[in-house]
Amino acid sequence: MLKRYNVSETKKYYCDINSKVLAGVEVITYKSKQKDEVSHIKKDYMDFLLDKLKFNVSEEYDKELKIFTISVLELNMYGEGKTREEAIVDLVDSIIEFVQIYTEKIDLFSKVESVEKQVYMMKILRNISDKCYCVFA
């Protein structure tokens, strides 16, 4: 059964909550007048779930313009270049720039971006913090 605690209870019983989470129980924290909730789950579970999340990368070549376009559908981002490698570099540069803006303005993005995009951004941010720059795994 899912356990739910308000913020005060979470603070008061944090050690017990943490033990439950480490044992595999998901615990929810909520603020009484807000609809948003926080899920406390074991890190291994989150790692497992995020590992299942795959990026869909598409590649196109415009013969008329002689330009490659590499897109990441989940991020709604793309890179272009005369070669495939240039397009990938352009895409990675765009993602890095977006990550910087995203982290600086996380409060705004958390309100306007879809849950799906926020989860994909979480995967990128975790990979960056783990010093793994191969985010399209």
pLDDT tens digits for range 29-75: 999 777 889 999 999 999 999 999 999 999 999 999 999 999 999 99
pTM, entire model = 0.81
Domains of the chain: 1-41 (3.40.1620), 53-137 (3.30.160.620)
Helix axes 84-104, 115-129, angle to 10 degrees: 100
Whether the predicted pLDDT of 123 surpasses 90: yes
Q: Convert the pLDDT of each residue in 72-113 to its tens digit.
A: 999 999 999 999 999 999 999 999 999 999 999 999 999 999
